[in-house]
């Protein structure tokens, strides 16, 4: 019941909520980012990070450092924290935490299938997979020739199995089909996660509805922009949109018939929360759209911590930490490639 969570939440969730709020206090601040942006080499970045929570993970890394090493170690920290929380969690929080990783599972499946299509080495692909999205039979994905085989041989025993019902076809896997598969899976996953949060009720349902609706709307915009000028029909495009969110259903109808970025902008400006995002962009410009969406998402995720006794803080923390890792990757790449003039282009400040 909404408003009465305080009476029972701490019985099972109090310890973990305290843990996740403690982790949140360790996120890098604007001052940290300003110092990182001044670094001249990757070793300088390592030295600065040694004073943060990433210190123990990077301290034994020899020079010369690579960007991939920094990202790998920072991701390892996130994975360790996640596993600790999952071990301590009871139902329904444990299921909620598992839902958070399904997005990474979908990305890993798509990465391996696409890599196999382009005849890349499976071992090399497995190293690139996100550790939160690993499952036992992931290496055998490489043998599948079409969606049906992919499902029958590998995915039937994973949590992604129910999401595949909509995209099982006998068509051979090619780049276009794989991208459609990714978006169909994501649609099914987001809708399922949304239903699960609604079932939990209370503050969790309220806060997660907002966060997941934003995610669904962002995906709808990205699908529309990426499919402009491709052979994807309007009906195909419409099928990839999630059945909830601020844009559902009328915004989806308008997005489905949009022919260029400016038409997409026209649709989005009718919705006040998204008006501010598009007002930052000049007409015809979609390159900075991702950053604008990330900034809005970070703002919403930080607001999740303003309320107590709900599971949204776990989702928010994982997303904020992933954004931090993206920031560190961008800064490290700019420093490694001597492109320091562009270092602020993609950094999204969290606090």
- What's the pLDDT at 137? 78
Q: What is the pLDDT of residues 191-238, one digit of tens each?
A: 999 999 999 988 999 999 999 999 999 999 999 998 888 888 888 889
Pick from 162, 166, 140, 139: nearest CA to 153:
140
Closest CA to 298 of 345, 348, 246, 247: 348
Q: What are phi and psi of 172, to 5 degrees?
A: -65, 155
Enclosing H/E stretch for 85: helix 67-88
Average pLDDT of the residues in 114-129? 85
Q: Could you tell me the pLDDT band of residue 13, with boundaries at 50, 70 and 90?
A: confident
d(CA 136, CA 78): 20
Question: What are the residues facing 285 on neighbouring strands?
Answer: none
- pLDDT of residue 93 exceeding 90, the answer is yes
With 80 as the cut, is the pLDDT of residue 190 above it?
Answer: yes
Q: Which of 319, 346, 321, 317 is nearest to 331 (CA)?
A: 346
Dmax (CA) for the chain in angstroms is 56
Count of CB atoms within 10 A of residue 187's CB? 22
State pLDDT tens for residues 141-151. 777 777 777 77
Q: Are the CB atoms for 220 and 247 separated by under 8 Å?
A: yes
Whether the predicted pLDDT of 303 surpasses 90: yes
**CA 19 from chain center: how many Å?**
22
- Of the given ranges (3-12, 83-92, 97-106, 269-278), which has the lowest mean pLDDT? 3-12
- The proportion of the chain whose per-residue pLDDT surpasses 90, expressed as a percent, equals 54
Residue 167, pLDDT score? 66
Which pLDDT value is given to residue 286? 62
pLDDT at 345: 84
CA dist list (Å): 124 to 89, 111, 115, 166, 273:
33, 11, 9, 30, 42
**Sorting pLDDT into bands at 50, 70 and 90, what band is 168?**
low
Model confidence at 114: pLDDT above 70: yes
Q: What angle do CA 114, 212, 71 make, to 5 degrees?
A: 50
Whether residue 333 has pLDDT greater than 90: yes
Task: Output the pLDDT for position 347.
Answer: 87
- Better-predicted residue by pLDDT, 49 or 140: 49
Residue located via tokens 């601040």: 29
Cβ-contact 163, 216 below 8 angstroms: no
Cα–Cα distance, 296 to 331 (Å, whole number): 20
Residue 285 above 70 pLDDT? no
Model pLDDT for residues 26-59, shown as the tens digit of each residue: 999 999 999 999 989 999 999 999 999 999 999 8
* pLDDT of 80 above 90: yes
What's the CA gap between 221 and 324, in Å, rounded?
A: 23
pLDDT band at 252, cuts 50/70/90? Answer: very high
Q: Look over the chain and give the mean of its residue pLDDT values, rounded to a whole number.
A: 88
Mean pLDDT of 178-188: 89
């Amino acid at each position: 019941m909404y408003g009465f969570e305080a009476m029972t939440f701490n019985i099972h969730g109090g310890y973990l909520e305290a843990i996740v709020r403690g982790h949140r206090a360790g996120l890098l601040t604007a001052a940290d980012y300003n110092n990182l942006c001044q670094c001249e080499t990757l070793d300088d970045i390592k030295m600065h990070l040694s004073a943060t929570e990433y210190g123990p993970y990077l301290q034994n890394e020899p020079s010369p450092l690579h960007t991939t090493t920094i990202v790998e170690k920072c991701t390892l920290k996130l994975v360790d924290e996640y596993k600790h929380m999952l071990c301590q969690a009871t139902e329904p929080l444990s299921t909620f935490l598992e839902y958070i990783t399904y997005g990474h599972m979908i990305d890993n499946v798509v990465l391996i299938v696409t890599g196999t299509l382009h005849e890349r080495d499976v071992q090399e692909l497995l190293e690139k997979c996100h550790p939160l999205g690993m499952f036992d039979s992931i290496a055998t994905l490489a043998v599948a020739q079409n969606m049906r085989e992919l499902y029958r041989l590998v995915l039937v025993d994973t949590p992604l199995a129910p999401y595949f019902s909509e995209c099982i076809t006998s068509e051979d896997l090619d780049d276009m089909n794989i991208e459609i598969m990714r978006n169909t899976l994501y649609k099914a996953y987001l809708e399922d996660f949304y239903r699960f949060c609604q079932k939990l009720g209370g503050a969790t349902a309220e806060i997660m509805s907002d966060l997941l609706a934003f995610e669904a709307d962002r995906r709808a915009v990205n699908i529309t922009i990426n499919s402009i000028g491709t052979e994807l029909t309007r009906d195909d495009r419409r099928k990839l949109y999630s059945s909830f969110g601020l844009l559902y259903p009328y915004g989806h109808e308008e997005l489905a018939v949009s022919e260029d970025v400016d038409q997409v902008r026209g649709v989005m400006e009718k919705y006040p929360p998204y008006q501010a995002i598009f007002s930052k962009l000049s007409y015809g410009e979609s390159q900075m759209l991702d950053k604008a969406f990330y900034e809005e998402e970070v703002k919403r995720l930080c607001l999740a911590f303003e309320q107590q006794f709900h599971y949204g803080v776990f989702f928010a923390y994982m997303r904020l930490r992933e954004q931090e890792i993206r920031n560190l990757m961008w800064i490290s790449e700019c420093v490694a490639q001597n492109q320091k003039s562009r270092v602020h282009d993609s950094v999204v400040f969290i606090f």
